[in-house]
Structure formats: structure tokens, C-alpha cells
Structure 1
Amino acid sequence: MREAFRGVRRFSDFHGRLGIPKAVLTKRLNHLVESGMFVLEEYQRVPQRYEYRLTEMGLDFWRVLLTMWDWEVSWDPDPNDMRLRLEHLDCGHAIRPVSSCSHCAQPLQLADISRRPGPGQGTEPMLPPRSRRRMNASSVKSPGEHALRSQIIQSVGDRWTPMVMGCIFRGSRRFNEIEAELYIPPYILGQRLEELVGLELIERRRYQDSPPRDEYLLTIKGLAQHHYTLQLMRWGDRWLAGDKGPPQIMIHKACSHAFYADLRCSHCGEVLERERVKLF
């Protein structure tokens, strides 16, 4: 998705930029087409060739990608300083996106947000279980190595891990609470919690000695992912909620209004628009 926003459209260019196996790339691109993020367009008849173009649904994912990038800048720095920069074309400055309330325009912090049930609560579909073959990051030897090692990819790059993080964001801290909310197999939940502890996104705290019981709390590093989570919710409410509406309504305590999270320029304060920002 990141490379598509940077103008890559053809299979050979995706492969050259990312360096991942062709079979894996084919599977990922096909999934993005099937899910509505990309559409195939023919650019050559003989031999027949297609390119992958972002749909409106895919283009609307830009805020999610920006907040992922912004989290990495703060919490997963590149020792070679090869991280992309973000420019706001309207003010001409290199900037950071600031998550802000769509009603009062004030910056958002997790402690300032409450939730109430939305009209679509209880109707969100659960994905059928499937196996997941894990990649050993230490074995990656390609131009895409940094992207695959990225901590944000490790923490949101499979179907269960972001759901576990979402539960903890909503206040479920104990193993049995998360298991009941997600209907997740216990062995998978144990693996994901261990991985998140290893990434220092959550910490384990003993709340009962006999029998021993632990709960899981967000670290400062984990809390910082709430900007990404808010943008993912905004995108999901638009494209996945369906006719019944969003499953949750977010309330900004400072202004007492329902909101969605805008991204504003850290320099001029204006709301960022997709066509007016550039990663370079």
C-alpha cells in the first residue's frame, strides 16, 4: 500500500521496490484486489499486462498509512536516518501529522476519549479462522528488509494482533476478558500477548498470586499507537460498517461531541488533505 501511494502500479516495480518473493507478492496483490483496495487495469494487450491502481477505498487509507509512518518515526527510528519525510504542500514545510478532534480541532489524547455503543454494535462480522505462516525476520535478506522488520508491521500486520491491541485499548486487560471478546483460540492469544510484550507495546502485571494471574497494560509506546487506531476506525466506519452504521461512537471529553480524528499539519495547523501531502 505504501508503494502504491508513491506511484508504483506494476508487478515488476512492486517486486523491485519490496524484494519479497513473487508468490507472496502475487497473493498480497490479489487479496488487495479482492478486498476492493486495488483495481486491475490493462496497460498492454500483447502480451496482456495489467497494473494495480488504488480505488477510492484504497486511496482513503492514506491517513492510516501516515499515522503508521508517524509512529515509526518516534518509536522505531532508522539508525541510518533513511526514513521518509512528509511535506505539506500548502505551507511548504516538513511536518508531522497531528490527530485532532473533527469538532473542536484540539489535539487528541487517549485519556480524552470515551466511547458509547454505536448503531452497528454486535453486527460486525468475525473472520473465519485461518492458519498463518510466520516469517522469520532474521532470515530476510532483501531491499524490503527494513519494511518487514518494522515494529509497526509486526504489531498490526496479522489479523489477530491489532484486534488484541484494540481490546486492551478498550479496557480489557485480562486473558479471559480478551479471549471472550474476540473468540480467539487460547494458544494464539498467548502467542500474541508474548509478542506484544516483547515489542514493549504492553507490559505484564501480576494481580493475583494464588493461582498466579496476570493482566496486560499498555506501555507509553503502546499508547502512542492510538493515533493509528483512530484512523483505522475512521476508515473502517466508512468502508466496512455497512448500512447499520459504526459499532462504536467516539466522544471527545473536552468538547463533549462525537468526533472522528482529523490529521492536522504540525506547522500551520490546517487539516491535511491527501492531494496536498507528499512523502519524500
Structure 2
Amino acid sequence: MPDGGPNPLSRAIGLLGDEWTLLLLRHALAGSTRYSDFNAQLPISNAVLTNRLDTMVCESLMERRVYQRNPVRSEYLLTVRGRSTWPLLVVIWAWERKWVPEHAYATPPMIHQVCGREMSPLYCCTACKEPVTAADLHTRWGPSGGWSRSVPEVTTRRRSDSRGGGKGPRFFYPDTMAVFGNRWSSAVVGAAFLGAHRFSDFQSLLGIPPSLLAERLASLCDRGILEQVEGEVRPAWKAYRLTGKGLGFFPVVAITVEWAQRWYTSPEGRVLDWTHAACGAPFIGTLACDRCRKPLTGSDIDLSTID
């Protein structure tokens, strides 16, 4: 990636902050490979499906392989980069299951194939194996970091709708997309995790127009991700803080950052550097089963249960 432009985090959120891309990844991780498979499983138009598959090939999430010559037909196989998105899908599922129980459709339990029990993933420090939250980490911008470069330039969020045909609603989770699928909402939540509270804080850090900022803050409050509270210095000057639901979104944010820094390297260096305060080690996250505490791998989880 060139110096001075959008950084790895901007690029990753621009790519993964799209519900069709995430849905295609979910089905691909569960074993789907052919255009007809995706078309049958998702209420997606041919034009959108073709566009997303082309994008995923261009971004090296998938590779296209011809399996029939006359007529020419291709299958779409996940690359190592594409397969490495499984932790993101797992923590999104876990967050929605815990914090958005009112969805009309069921969010089924996930079984850890190693211990055989229903589980939720713990986001842990690789060095000391202890679970972490945002408050447990010291965070600083790296050489390619900064707010202006981390806001995604691409806005591909698409609202779910049904095209009929008797298919069940296989949409990605709307509360996740309220944060992850909007460039400014994701930036506002990121700023809140790094300590922004006041309207003026968000505006000065992000360079967002006031009317748009007010709209994003209101939307995040409506979703229960932020809440408005009295200002510490002047109670009349309202502030915003992450709720329990908002704080619980941290693994989604952190895993996206780690994935971005793994696959979209910048010659300038990293976007963010974290230190785990408790053990003092540079922080690298890992997922573990909350029942047996063994580290999770993609093969330990049946992603076909994630709707």
C-alpha cells in the first residue's frame, strides 16, 4: 500500500463492512464453492452476486477455478486470506446472540467440536491466555495510523431485502451492520473505544460534518451501542459512552484490526499497537472456548449453523 493514503484498516473495513461479502464468506467457509450454490442459498440478485464474487477474487479472498470447459463454468475457492476471516464471523455471531436476542430469526448455539459443548468464544491474550476487553489494553497509533486514514473510503453497505422465491431470510445481522457497514458509524465506535466522549471530540478527530455526526450518534444510541450521559465538567453538555452492548463489540473491532494488519501491510508500519496491561506483552488476540478454555481453530466450529 502506498505511503500517505488509506491505511490497512480503512481498506479492510471497506471490504468486510458489506453484508453480502460477509454472507458469501460464511457460506464459503461452510463449503459452498459454485455460483449456483450461492445463488440458491442467498436472496441476492445475479448482478450483485457477480459483483461481489469478482471483488472477492480481486481482493484475494477467493480464487476462481474453471471446472467445466463447454460451457465454461467456474467455482470460487477460498484462499488462505479468505479462510482467515472465520474468527470475525464467529465473534459477530457471539455478539448478536448475546446482545440482540429480539431478532425474529433464531441465532442458533455453536458447538465446540473439541469438547462437545455449547460455547461462546473468549477473546484472549495469546501471551498469558487471559480474556481481555478494550480497557485491558494500552493503545497507540502506529506509523500508518491516524483518524483521517482509517475511515474507510468505500461504502458498500447494502440493506437486506428479499427477492422472493420462497427462500428463508439469510441476511447478515442488522445490528452488526449498523456499526460495521457504515463508514462513519464504524469510525465513531472506534473513536469511542479510544476515549472520545463529547460531540466536539468526535467532530475534531474524524472531520465529520456536524449534521452527519448527529445522525450517526442518534442511530448508535437507538441501537443501544452508545448512550447519552451528562458531561463531567458541564452536565448540560451531553456526552456519549459505550454501553455494555457497545463494549461487547470490541472483539469484532480488534479482530478486524488484526486481520487488516496481517493482510494489508503498509511500508510505513502498523496501524495500531496494543500492549496488554496485565502481562505487559505486546497484545495479539486469540479465541478460546469459554467452556474448556482451549484455543479455537476454524475446523473446531461448524459455521453452517450461523444464519
Contact 2:147 2:206 in 1 (8 A): no
String of CA shifts for 1:136-155, please: whole Å, max 9, x gaps: x6x64654636256311222
Instruction: Tell me which amino acid in the other structure corresponds to 1:24.
Output: V
Counterpart pick for 2:134 among 110, 125, 139: 110
Change (3 A) 1:118 1:129: closer
Which of the two has greater strand per residue?
Answer: 1
Aligned residue for 2:21? none
d(CA) in 1 for partners of 2:153, 2:210: 13
Aligned residue for 1:100? 124
Counterpart pick for 1:249 among 264, 268, 273: 273
Aligned residue for 2:110? 86
Aligned residue for 1:205? 229
> Structure 1 residue 170: deviation in Å?
0.7
> Structure 1 residue 87: deviation in Å?
2.7
Contact 1:124 1:241 in 2 (8 A): no
Aligned residue for 2:55? 31
Instruction: Tell me which amino acid in the other structure corresponds to 2:38.
Output: F
d(CA) in 2 for partners of 1:185, 1:16: 41
Aligned residue for 2:11? none
Aligned residue for 1:272? 296
> Structure 1 residue 82: deviation in Å?
3.4
Contact 1:120 1:241 in 2 (8 A): no
Query: Which shifted more, 33-42 or 117-126?
Result: 117-126
TM-score (norm 1): 0.86
d(CA) in 2 for partners of 1:168, 1:128: 17
Counterpart pick for 2:101 among 66, 72, 77: 77
> Secondary structure at the residue paired with 2:302?
strand
Aligned residue for 1:174? 198
Q: How many residues align?
A: 278
Contact 1:88 1:95 in 2 (8 A): yes
String of CA shifts for 1:7-46, please: whole Å, max 9, x gaps: 1122222122121222222222222222222221212212
Unaligned runs of 5+ in 1: none
Aligned residue for 2:26? 2
Equivalences for 1:211-226 in 2 at 5 Å? 213-226=237-250
Counterpart pick for 2:67 among 20, 38, 43: 43
> Structure 1 residue 214: deviation in Å?
3.1
d(CA) in 1 for partners of 2:188, 2:219: 11
> Structure 1 residue 252: deviation in Å?
1.4
> Secondary structure at the residue paired with 1:9?
coil
Instruction: Tell me which amino acid in the other structure corresponds to 1:87.
Output: I
d(CA) in 2 for partners of 1:52, 1:164: 35
Change (3 A) 1:186 1:9: farther
Question: Is 1:195 aligned to residue 195 of structure 2?
Answer: no
Query: Which shifted more, 167-176 or 113-122?
Result: 113-122
> Structure 1 residue 129: deviation in Å?
5.0
Aligned residue for 1:263? 287
Aligned residue for 1:60? 84
Change (3 A) 1:71 1:116: same
Unaligned runs of 5+ in 2: 1-24
Aligned residue for 1:234? 258
Relative contact order, CA 8 A, sep 6+: which one is greater? 2
Root mean square deviation of aligned Cα: 2.9
> Structure 1 residue 159: deviation in Å?
2.7
Aligned residue for 2:20? none
d(CA) in 2 for partners of 1:32, 1:201: 30
d(CA) in 2 for partners of 1:9, 1:109: 36
> Secondary structure at the residue paired with 1:262?
strand
Contact 1:121 1:247 in 2 (8 A): yes
Aligned residue for 1:19? 43
String of CA shifts for 1:220-264, please: whole Å, max 9, x gaps: 111110121121121112112323332221121211221111101
d(CA) in 2 for partners of 1:144, 1:174: 42
Instruction: Tell me which amino acid in the other structure corresponds to 1:256.
Output: G
> Secondary structure at the residue paired with 1:207?
coil
TM-score (norm 2): 0.79
Counterpart pick for 1:164 among 176, 185, 188: 188
